[in-house]
Structures are given as C-alpha cells and as structure tokens.
Amino acid sequence: MIQLSHRPRRNRKSAAIRALVEETKVTTDDLIFPIFLLDGKNQKVEVASMPGIFRLSTDLVLKEVEECLNLGIRAFDIFPVVEESLKDKTATKSYDPNFFYLRALREVKKQFPEACIMTDVAMDPYSSDGHDGLVEEGKIVNDETLEILGKMALAQAETGIDILGPSDMMDGRVGYLREVLDSNGFTDVSIMSYTAKYASGFYNPFRDALDSAPKFGDKKTYQMNPANSREAMIEAALDTEEGADFLMVKPALAYLDIIKLLKDNSDLPIAAYNVSGEYSMVKAAAQKGWLDGERVAKEMLLSMKRAGADIILTYFAKEFAQAVKRQ
C-alpha cells in the first residue's frame, strides 16, 4: 500500500463526518425573499421569464408572507408593479400615501409586525422613462433625483417598514436619505445600499416582472462597469461614510470576487442579490432536464455565502426553505 501522511478523503467518508467539517452553511436566517406586488384583489400572475415566481395582489402577498414565516423566512423585499398609465417623469405615485403599494406595506406590517420588510428606492418602477433617476434633456440628472428619492423614502418609512434599499446608484443618495429619515424621526429605519450595482445583462426577467425597462438608452451612466472592481471600494467607502447599515453587491453569481472584496475590507454586513437572470437560467435549464435545479440553486447560494455574503436576496428563498423542511 502507498504510504500517505495526509488523506483528505478521510474527512469525506460519511455524511456525518462531512457535516462535522462543513465550513459554510446557508440557512433561512440568511435569506430575503423578493416579492412582486400587484394592485387589485385575488390577483396571481406568473412572471413568464421567472417560472414559479408570481405577481401577487395584497391579499395574496399576506398569505405568501404567512407561508414563508412558517417556513422560517422572516425577511421580504417588496416591489410594486405599477400600471403604465400611472407612471410619469417625476414618479409622483411613489410618495402618494394613498397609492396601493404604500397601503399594502402598512397592511403587511400591521398583520405581521415580526416580519422584516425591505423596500426599493429608485424611480424606475414609477417613471415613464423607465430610468432610476430623473431624465432631463436625455440625461439622468443626479441631485434633482435625490429630492424625489427623499420623498419616496420618507413615504415608505411612514408605513412602518424596516429597511430601505436605494438601488438607484445616484451619487450621495445614502447620505441624503439618512438625513431625510433622521430629520423626520425615522432613526431606526435601516439603509441597505446597493453599493456595487453593476450594469448587468442579468436583470431582464426582473424588468419583465415590473414592466420597468428603460424607454431609451441604458443604465451605464449610473450603474457600474462590470469590468471594474476597485470602483466598488470607492462606492463602499462613500456609502459607509454616509450612514449605510448594509452594503449590497448586485448581481451575485458573476461578482463573487466583489462580495469577497467588500467582506474583506468592510465591517458592515454584506448582502448579495441573487438576481432574476441567475434564477431564470437555472429554472430554464432544469425545465430542459439539463441539470438538477434544486441542487444547483443550493450550490449557487453556498457560493455566495462562501464568498462572504452575510445576507442573500434570492428568488430561491421559499423553495430553499421548503427543501430544508423536507429533510
């Protein structure tokens, strides 16, 4: 027999031993489940490019949240699906207290105060231009956008939500929103900044879900260049200085190096957004029988956690929790 001083396979020889030495674990405590909210009642519409993910009216969102809480998922990111006729250049519906989205948020927090509710701060769901910021003469203007985002953030905070997620990538927005929140008595509302949000091709199914694709051009003047990593450190330093409570990397799978970079250089919790395109490509391949969707989804989530993500926003959250419960 060959004499080997080290045989790493000894630590892989049984399920029990593999569990003892397992370095990375994903649990439902790590996950935030994104939900798409529709106006109306008893409305459930599957997103064609996201099999298994639905746009839900408020009554069904309440049922979904209850089901997920029973599965161990306690955090949710709720996005509004806004009718085209209600959109305008300045996103006025985003801070109308009677708008269905804000009314729904109040109801969710009333029914489930124990749930952690996160919201999105950006103009694109409400904008007739489909951009995250205000468009003037064909350009997305920065400082004027902040004023609109401030109104939006304040309106969302007034519903009782827990975390604001500014996804717009305007310069200075974290500091501006922190000042708006604090000066209005919302010092307990957290900010999870979309710190390193890249101009990615992985977002298309999400834009299908919200009907929020830009009406012209692209988002490359405000979202980050996928070729850049050092730039993420600049954004992280600014967001930290301005008062962010969490730093997010979006997308996740193609940016594991950025997750690790921020984890190694920041003391703030790091979130990763396992985005719609990452979800959809697994679902499409699984439907073709080309891979085991549940196994690959778990492996993807493990890779994000292993890279350093403390929190993962993922459309796989409910399926993951159901699989855990079956074990």
Number of neighbours of residue 43 by Cβ within 10 angstroms: 17
Cα within 13 Å of Cα(96), Cβ side: 13
Amino acid of residue 244: A
Q: What are phi and psi of 16, to 5 degrees?
A: -65, -45
* Residues paired with residue 250 on neighbouring β-strands, in sequence order: 197
Which ranges of the chain would DSSP assign to H, the alpha helix? 15-20, 58-71, 100-111, 143-157, 173-183, 204-210, 230-242, 256-265, 276-287, 293-307, 317-326
Q: Residue 232 carries which side chain, given as an amino acid letter?
A: A
Catalytic residue from among 87, 197, 305, 318: 197
Q: Which of 87, 219, 250, 263 is flagged as catalytic? A: 250
| CB 274 within 8 Å of CB 312 | yes
How far is Cα 123 from Cα 168, in angstroms, rounded to an integer? 7
Backbone φ, ψ for residue 221 (5° rounding): -80, -10
Q: How many residues does this entry show for the chain?
A: 327
Q: Which of 251, 249, 260 is nearest to 306 (CA)?
A: 260
Is residue 278 marked as binding?
A: no
d(CA 32, CA 53): 14
**197 tagged catalytic:** yes
Q: b vs e for 190-225, b when ≥16 Cβ sit within 10 Å of the residue's Cβ?
A: bbbbbbbbbebebbebbbbbbebebeeeebeebbbe
Is 220 annotated as catalytic? Answer: no
The DSSP annotation for 33-89 comes to EEEEEESSSS-EEE-TTSTT-EEEEHHHHHHHHHHHHHHT--EEEEEE---GGG-BT
Q: Which residues are annotated as a binding site for Mg(2+)?
A: 235
What residues form the annotated binding site?
Answer: 235
The catalytic residue positions are: 197, 250
